[in-house]
Amino acid sequence: MSPRFFTALLAATVVAVAAAAWSVLHGPVTATAVGTGEVAFPLLAASPDTVRRIELRTTEGAMSFERTETGDWVTPEKHRYPVSSRRIREVLTELADMRLVEPKTGMAERYPLIGVEPVDATDANSVELRLEDAAGGVLAHALFGVRVWHRTGDARHGIFLREPGADRAWLASGGTDLSYDIQDWLDRAIIDVGADGITAITVRPEAADGFVVSRAPDGSLAADGHEVDPDLLRRLASGLARLSLADVAPRGEEAVAAGASLAYTTANGLVIEVTERRDGWLTFQATATGPDARQRADALNDRLAPWRYRLADWQYEKLFGAAQKAAGG
């Protein structure tokens, strides 16, 4: 064997040994470790319907969701306004389906690399989630970190997680979107009445004469005593279609002067009045002019009357923007 060949072989051996040593000390633990494939949250998976409280914490703050006696979800951080039950069901299902795929680092200094550091750490990117039953028993508690967008276990993606207080982090299959913007969790739907269901609109501008928009037998709309572009009237008639909130707050007991208002009448005698308060918020009130609408009016008032709302600009424009233009403003 030539000296040059021996030197090259020795160098290659040293490199291979060093690489193997680095892999053992720093590389991921193999997927055959104990616990791989197990359900990530067994208590939750066994009884997801028993969840009564959800707490979510990030470095920016905390929010919580509580299930009421009627089965609805509300958030104390928004004056117990309703939360989207569909969104909650999706999150609970996704969490219950998660499985531990691969154990990862147990070194605290490496937690920030995969986003599973404590949420009170400096510049933390983790999300801490805690799920409890009616007695306060913990069904799931974990720090969620970086999501991976490739097949993980039997799921199309995965997420890193760690139980608070535990050393070992894990790569788990699946995952869920744990937004820490409370607006993403609210039940944002206000009301949905399509334009075809509106038979009349009473327009009461704040600084102009009011008028009534009526629907003719042929389906067309006309403003009594006003020449108004038909397209503008159609936009105004669609103002209650898929109406959703941008923000919400308690209506409050303080007296706030009313500004402009719109009263929409439907074919079955339901009247929905939308009032723009002087403080910029909108309020809703329903009345029934016929027996067929009484139950619907009561249900709307139970849900909407305690609150004041803000709308996205484009939805506000279909209501009061269109009304102001129709009034010549």
Q: Are residues 210 and 260 in the same domain?
A: yes
Q: Of 187, 189, 143, nearest to 166 (Cα)? A: 143
Record the tokens describing residue 308, joined without a space.
């004041």
The structure tokens 């108004």 sit at 228
Strands 158-162 and 170-173 turn out to be: antiparallel
**pLDDT score of 225:** 81
Q: Look up the pTM and report it.
A: 0.81
In a domain, 4, yes or no: no
**Residues with Cβ within 8 Å of residue 153, at least 6 apart in sequence:** 37, 99, 101, 172, 173, 174
Give the domain range for residue 261.
189-326
Q: Are residues 168 and 204 in the same domain?
A: no
- Measured CA to CA, the distance from residue 24 to residue 292 in angstroms comes to 74
Q: Are residues 239 and 276 in the same domain?
A: yes
Instruction: State whether the Cα torsion 63-65-66-70 is positive or negative.
Output: positive
**pLDDT score of 19:** 37
**pLDDT score of 328:** 79
**pLDDT score of 295:** 95
Q: Are residues 279 and 170 in the same domain?
A: no
- Residues 149 and 157 sit within 8 Å (Cβ to Cβ): yes
Q: Are residues 163 and 240 in the same domain?
A: no
In a domain, 250, yes or no: yes
- Measured CA to CA, the distance from residue 311 to residue 103 in angstroms comes to 46
- Tell me the average confidence (pLDDT) per consecutive run of 10 residues in the chain, 329 residues long: 38 37 34 64 96 96 96 96 96 96 96 97 96 97 95 91 96 92 95 96 88 94 89 95 96 80 96 93 95 94 96 94 85
Residue ending a domain, among 184, 205, 225, is 184
Amino acid at 153: G
Residue ending a domain, among 125, 156, 184, is 184
Q: What is the rounded radius of gyration, in angstroms, for the C-alpha atoms of the chain?
A: 29
Q: Are residues 200 and 146 in the same domain?
A: no
Residue ending a domain, among 144, 164, 184, is 184
3-state secondary structure of 323: helix
- Measured CA to CA, the distance from residue 233 to residue 223 in angstroms comes to 8
How many other C-beta atoms are found inside a 10 Å radius of the C-beta of residue 299? Answer: 11
In a domain, 238, yes or no: yes
**Residues with Cβ within 8 Å of residue 66, at least 6 apart in sequence:** 52, 53, 54, 73, 74, 75, 76, 80
